[in-house]
Amino acid sequence: MTPPLRGENGYRSYTQQHINELTLLRQARQVGFNLEECGELVNLFNDPARHSADVKARTLQKVAEIERHILELEAMRKQLLALAEACPGDESADCPIIDNLSGCCHTPRP
């Protein structure tokens, strides 16, 4: 972020530019950009010679990353559901979930 100027009294003076940068940071974080990526976006925001193609490319890279995470999460969800289905969930100490997670046994994968 662009550092704000300080007045003679030591107070920081924020401009509309700072507000726009902070808004960009907040919005970028909300859609999944990490801090480093947010810094790159702020640099692009402040670069009058930027190309929208660069911003679009970074955005599409983030979309691909999110899609990979969704696939990983869906695989985890399916595995957990299979583990839960294999477990009787009764008063016995035998637990296929613990056995599978500890590597003692194999529970069928979906």
Residue with the larger pLDDT of the pair 14 and 109:
14
Q: Are 1 and 22 in contact (CB under 8 A)?
A: yes
Q: Is the predicted pLDDT of residue 39 greater than 60, yes or no?
A: yes
Distance CA 72, CA 17 (A): 39
pLDDT digits (tens, 9 = 90+) for 68-90: 999 999 999 999 999 999 999 89
Which CATH number is 5-77's, of 3.30.565.10, 1.20.58.1000, 3.40.50.620, 1.10.1660.10? 1.10.1660.10
**DSSP of 12-52, one letter per residue?**
EE--HHHHHHHHHHHHHHHTT--HHHHHHHHHHHT-TT--H
Residue with tokens 């902070």: 22
Model pLDDT, residue 110: 53
pTM for the full predicted model: 0.69
pLDDT band at 105 (very low <50, low <70, confident <90, very high): low
CA dihedral 67, 38, 24, 49 (to 10 degrees): -110
